[in-house]
Chains A and B, each alone.
Chain A
Amino acid sequence: MSHHLLEFKDVRFRYPDGTEALKGVSFLITHGESVGIVGANGAGKSTLLLHMNGHLLPTSGAVTVGEVPLRKETRKEIRGKVGVVFQNPDDQLFMPTVFDDVAFGPLNLGLPPDRVRERVYEALRQVNALALVDKPPHHLSGGQKSAVAIATVMAMKPDILVMDEPAASLDPKSRRSVIHLLNSFAHSKIVASHDLDLILDVCVRCLVIRDGAIVADGPAPEILSDAMLLAENNLELPLTLQGRPGKEGTRQ
């Protein structure tokens, strides 16, 4: 089980309209690592995430998941290994009830009905949303939607969990429970977010991306306390590392 690797080798991607969104990205994420991806708006974070399960294929360069190189033919296999939670839960939850939605992935994996049911209940228990099992998604609150969206991916038991802004627009308590949830997930996880405190709480390593290239890669506490680097990327020190306003030295 030590093959939960994710490797990008000089990945370049150009959108059909000519925008070059990734300009040679390389990194290796090993088994069990938790990696934050930060950067300004439009730096290429989302494009990067869309490469991780083959939604986009690199224009040049290589993406490898486990031992499998990402190609058109291997996309299905890779999608079973890499679970992506998209930013807007309304895009993620498309089935009429929470149960059907969480069961969607496992059913498509071809599991027998009783195993599917097991997976659904297990995933919903993990995200503390068991009570919502029969609700339709449009009757859920924002925090509940996020939790269920995570469960839909957890139910597929991916080796690598990829999340785009998992806690955006959540109230502080829901955000905290998402953080606990992420910390309880033992496999590799990759989190793209502007919520640097969340990255600091969840991730050991941090990548900074700017203009489609990686400009910094290192331990999260080190990167996220580098005020200069963060400022260059339209970011700020995480609130927990900022002095309180009113007390001495609000910012370095």
Chain B
Amino acid sequence: MSFEAAYSGIGRLDRLSYRDTVVHRLDPRAKVVATMLFAVGVVSFPRYEVLSLLPFFLFPVLIGALGDIPAGFIARKVVAVSPFAVFVGIFNPLFDPGVVAIAPGVSVSAGWVSFASILVKFALTISAALLLIATTSFPGICRGLRRLGFPALFVSQLLFLYRYLFVLMEEAMRVARARDMRSFGKNGAGVRVFVRIVGTLFLRTVERAERIYGAMLARGFRGDVPSMRTETFRPSDAFFVLAAGCFFAVCRFVPVPQVIGRLVRGVVG
């Protein structure tokens, strides 16, 4: 994926958050808490669990559908960052040669099962995080975190990260373009040029940070970024958190696929 494509992808995520749906209207705090519970629920499963994780997919699917977020877009983003998860788990099949039966008569090595488990957990948490941003907007999440009691310094760092990510990316894009224009297809003579470009960008960023801080002081900054949004935590938000929490608890502690399987067998037999 090229740099410019990555950039426009983030812009799109940003624009999706302007929509107005049931999910978008929920209080950011409710969505942040629900997503955290979701992540905790998913990650707490033991390493050889795959099937029991599957019901959790209902949460991102529902949020995506109700929030009118294109599934393909989120799926592509998940695939784009999946190399991280693949590298984490790729050696499991080699190092973990134990055998696990996954169906009557079919057994595979335990390493493959734990690898699959990592991939599923990864897909679940990343898609939930992306959907949280796409339905809440990054500043919305920051406001939610602040009002949940996260430290002001941490939240303002996140806010600036979001605001200046675009500026930094544009700057990097301009520098890369200038390099490409004078490198005649040789990709800018490789690593040495790249390292220098990164150095230049870093220096520019430091200078810019100084100017921004000056502009903030000029307008009376005293350490906390003030916000005027007064979201109220409505009963519907509480209901959302409660329902999501119950759903996660059921998925976590009740082996849903097995229960469904037993039910089906009961009906058939």
Interface residues of A (CB under 8 A from B): 50, 53, 55, 76, 79-80, 83-84, 86, 88, 90-92, 94-97, 99-100, 103-105, 107-109, 113, 116-117, 136-138, 152-153, 156
B55 at the interface (CB under 8 A from A): no
| Interchain CA distance A113-B221 in the complex, whole Å | 17
In contact, B139 and A156 (Cβ under 8 angstroms):
no
B54 at the interface (CB under 8 A from A): no
Q: A86-B211, A103-B228, A107-B228 are in contact. Are A96 and B218 (CB under 8 A)?
A: no
Closest to A136 in B: B14
Chain B interface bracket (under 10, 10 to 19, 20 to 34, 35 or more)? 20 to 34
**Closest CB of chain A to B161's CB: distance in Å?**
11
In contact, A55 and B218 (Cβ under 8 angstroms):
yes
In contact, A100 and B138 (Cβ under 8 angstroms):
no
Known: A55-B214, A94-B212, A152-B219. 15 other contacts (CB 8 A): A76-B220, A79-B218, A83-B218, A86-B215, A91-B211, A95-B159, A96-B163, A97-B139, A100-B227, A103-B228, A108-B219, A108-B222, A116-B228, A136-B14, A138-B166
B233 at the interface (CB under 8 A from A): no
**Which of A96, A137, A138, A156 meets B219, CB within 8 Å?**
A156
Can you list 17 A-B pairs, Cβ within 8 angstroms, ordered by A?
A53-B218, A79-B218, A84-B218, A86-B215, A90-B167, A94-B160, A95-B225, A96-B137, A96-B142, A96-B159, A103-B226, A103-B228, A104-B216, A105-B220, A107-B228, A116-B228, A156-B219
In contact, B226 and A104 (Cβ under 8 angstroms):
yes
Closest to B209 in A: A91
Q: Mark B201-218, 1 if CB is under 8 A from A, else 0.
A: 000000010011011111
**Residues 87-126 of B contacting A (Cβ, < 8 Å):** none
| Interchain CA distance A172-B211 in the complex, whole Å | 27
**Closest CB of chain A to B113's CB: distance in Å?**
43
| Interchain CA distance A88-B164 in the complex, whole Å | 14
**Residues 122-146 of B contacting A (Cβ, < 8 Å):** 137-139, 142
| Interchain CA distance A45-B95 in the complex, whole Å | 66
B154 at the interface (CB under 8 A from A): no
What does DSSP make chain A's interface, helix, strand, loop or mixed? Answer: helix
Contact partners of A107 in chain B: CB under 8 A: 226, 228
Q: A90, A94, A99 — which one has the most chain B CB atoms within 10 A of its CB?
A: A94
In contact, B162 and A94 (Cβ under 8 angstroms):
no
Closest to A117 in B: B228
| Interchain CA distance A107-B227 in the complex, whole Å | 8
Q: A55-B217, A80-B220, A100-B139 are in contact. Are A138 and B163 (CB under 8 A)?
A: yes
Contact partners of B220 in chain A: CB under 8 A: 76, 79-80, 105, 108-109, 156
In contact, B226 and A94 (Cβ under 8 angstroms):
no
Contact partners of B162 in chain A: CB under 8 A: 96
6 smallest beta-carbon distances between A and B, as pairs: A108-B220, A96-B139, A107-B226, A105-B219, A138-B166, A91-B211
Q: A97-B139, A108-B222 are in contact. Are A137 and B163 (CB under 8 A)?
A: yes
In contact, A86 and B214 (Cβ under 8 angstroms):
yes
In contact, B228 and A100 (Cβ under 8 angstroms):
yes
| Interchain CA distance A95-B218 in the complex, whole Å | 14
Q: A79, A95, A153 — which one has the most chain B CB atoms within 10 A of its CB?
A: A95
Closest to B210 in A: A91
Contact partners of B214 in chain A: CB under 8 A: 50, 55, 86, 91
| Interchain CA distance A136-B218 in the complex, whole Å | 21
Q: A83, A103, A113, A138 — which one has the most chain B CB atoms within 10 A of its CB?
A: A138
Contact partners of B228 in chain A: CB under 8 A: 99-100, 103, 107, 113, 116-117
| Interchain CA distance A80-B160 in the complex, whole Å | 24
| Interchain CA distance A73-B14 in the complex, whole Å | 41
Contact partners of B216 in chain A: CB under 8 A: 94, 104
Closest to A104 in B: B219
Contact partners of A100 in chain B: CB under 8 A: 139, 227-228
Contact partners of A84 in chain B: CB under 8 A: 215, 218
**Closest CB of chain A to B196's CB: distance in Å?**
23
| Interchain CA distance A100-B215 in the complex, whole Å | 15
| Interchain CA distance A53-B221 in the complex, whole Å | 14
**Residues 212-248 of B contacting A (Cβ, < 8 Å):** 212, 214-222, 225-228, 230
**Which of B208, B221, B222 meets A91, CB within 8 Å?**
B208
| Interchain CA distance A128-B220 in the complex, whole Å | 25
**Closest CB of chain A to B164's CB: distance in Å?**
8
Contact partners of B225 in chain A: CB under 8 A: 95, 104
